[in-house]
Structure 1
């Protein structure tokens, strides 16, 4: 069951990243995703926008180097799941490829520098990233572990880490992109 949970979550990420919906990931798909994330930063916030783009490029290079088994420059769903389990979620890569996006995103969205995201900010962010508000509103309530009505940087990082690393089907972070058994 635990392996199935990760496969379900990685399938959800694959569908989310597959920007043109052709069933394969390419550099163009990851670039488009990076631009969606970078667009959340203020126009003058080039440092965080660049950090997000760089992290997505790192992610793409991991996919290509370790997952493109047939060398065609495209990543199939099965190649994606395999490389996610073996490389992207490996501690030596996870920080650079995934958590670097989270950290830059949090810095970009936390314009008042209080170290938190309100539910409204959180829902607006995920809506801009293509996740329906009904999913992100429900996720927010689960992820706000201290119940203070906001997500701290630590709570957000924990949620992302749970999503990518946890094998517990009931981990709150699993709900980041909506129910893992539903298409995004």
Structure 2
């Protein structure tokens, strides 16, 4: 999760790139951008996509974001990470998920393969595949190193995630990550979209349902931005071996000394 390029941008540009939730309006070739801090309560008619129908539009009514305060801790409210064995185990798990070809480093080739597998799982056409690729390039940042090795990945995250500036910017990073998973831009992550993420990481998709059900705390069949933010903040900022969100990136690797 390289954020160097984003953190170096002017604040206004950061907000324009990451601080919005995209809602695609039906029957209009338009995209309406709504600030992420603004919650809506309304029925919105949205074009949904079904991977089994080759992304053909399916018009449904879907509940908008709930108009209520968010109930989870902000990153700045978490204690400093100590780099415990359990936390390092989670970071090594994430690294090996991103290292798709298993060569011991994360490279551009790994990222391209993630995109290809996402498109394959969701039957995306060329235009949509290009959109996904551009979103992920923004997320990773143009200044990301050509190769990232495991120890470097773990140690750099321990330092970065304890920085106040990084914690203050955490929600923007999650917004970007959420938009990458929300392939049809409706403001919610479906079971197929979540499974596509696991497939893109070569995590067996049968693990997706278990994790999806944990993240979908209100059992409405979708993961909202609030549910997503709570789960991923807990994953990255806690060191509790019993935390229910420990497998956001699939089963943890075997503990190593």
Task: Give the TM-score normalised by the residue count of structure 2.
Answer: 0.53
Q: 2:229 is matched with which residue? A: 157
Matched, 1:23 2:107: no
How far apart are the structure 1 equivalents of 2:147 and 2:179? 27
Decide whether the 8 Å contact of 1:88 with 1:97 is kept in 2.
Answer: no
**1:101-158 C-alpha deviation (Å, 9 max, x unpaired):** 4232244244xx2x32333432244223322122111111111112223211221222
Decide whether the 8 Å contact of 2:181 with 2:193 is kept in 1.
Answer: no
Q: 1:117 is matched with which residue? A: 189
Question: Is the alpha carbon distance of 1:179 and 1:125 closer, same or farther for their aligned partners in structure 2, counting shifts above 3 Å?
Answer: closer
Q: 1:86 is matched with which residue? A: 159
Q: Tell which deviates more after alignment, 34-43 or 125-134.
A: 34-43
Decide whether the 8 Å contact of 1:9 with 1:174 is kept in 2.
Answer: yes
RMSD of Structure 2 on Structure 1 (CA) = 3.3
The alpha carbon displacement at 1:42 in A equals 6.1
Q: 1:126 is matched with which residue? A: 198
Structure 2 residue runs of 5 or longer lacking an equivalent are 1-81
How far apart are the structure 2 equivalents of 1:126 and 1:89? 27
Q: 1:53 is matched with which residue? A: 137
More strand by share: 2
The alpha carbon displacement at 1:53 in A equals 1.2
- 9, 32, 36: which one aligns with 2:90: 9
More helix by share: 1
- 98, 103, 107: which one aligns with 2:178: 103
Q: 1:77 is matched with which residue? A: 150
